[in-house]
Amino acid sequence: MTVGPVEYVIIGFPGSQFTGEIAPELANLVESGLVRIIDLVFIAKDDQGEVLVLEVDENAELDVFTSLDADVGGVLGDEDIAHAAEAIEPGSSALLLLWEDTWAAPLAQAIRNSGGVLLEGSRIPHELIEEAEDLLASAG
């Protein structure tokens, strides 16, 4: 089986202001075959800073994630949760999400077949791209 690149993201929700709009968009990506959700964990910190792991199927605010067509769970562990929790302020929450970029699996396999190895990769923050595009637009 060809496996595409696997990514993780930690998405913060300051003040735990979570609207649930993410779940339908993730579902669209899964249904279109662009990604495969490997695992997801919702983490919160109470006002005293204690970390709480919220089960998607046991929390009414998170039940929107139960509609995902994915075998979720078991990959992210205590160390991953502790790492993600470091970025969360008290009274806030975060979604720790692990997915496979299935759209890139053929390219990843071609790279491996040609003897290529990934030397470096990173995501460029949206704000930096907007800033660069604005500068290019004003220069032209």
**Given pLDDT bands bounded at 50, 70 and 90, which one contains residue 133?**
very high
Task: Name the E strands within the chain.
Answer: 6-13, 36-45, 51-54, 93-100
The pLDDT of residue 11 = 93
The pLDDT of residue 123 = 85
Nearest to 9 by CA among 32, 43, 55: 43
Q: How far from chain centre, in Å, is Cα 45?
A: 19
**Given pLDDT bands bounded at 50, 70 and 90, which one contains residue 63?**
low
pLDDT tens digits along 77-124:
999 999 999 999 999 999 999 999 999 999 999 999 999 998 998 888
Structure token digits, residue 21:
């709009």
The pLDDT of residue 140 = 72
Integer-rounded Cα radius of gyration of the chain: 18
**Given pLDDT bands bounded at 50, 70 and 90, which one contains residue 130?**
very high
**Given pLDDT bands bounded at 50, 70 and 90, which one contains residue 71?**
low
Instruction: Evaluate if residue 17 carries a pLDDT over 90.
Output: no
The answer to whether the beta carbons of residues 56 and 124 sit under 8 Å apart is: no
The pLDDT of residue 19 = 81
Q: How far from chain centre, in Å, is Cα 25?
A: 12
Q: Where are the domains of the chain?
A: 6-105
**Given pLDDT bands bounded at 50, 70 and 90, which one contains residue 70?**
low
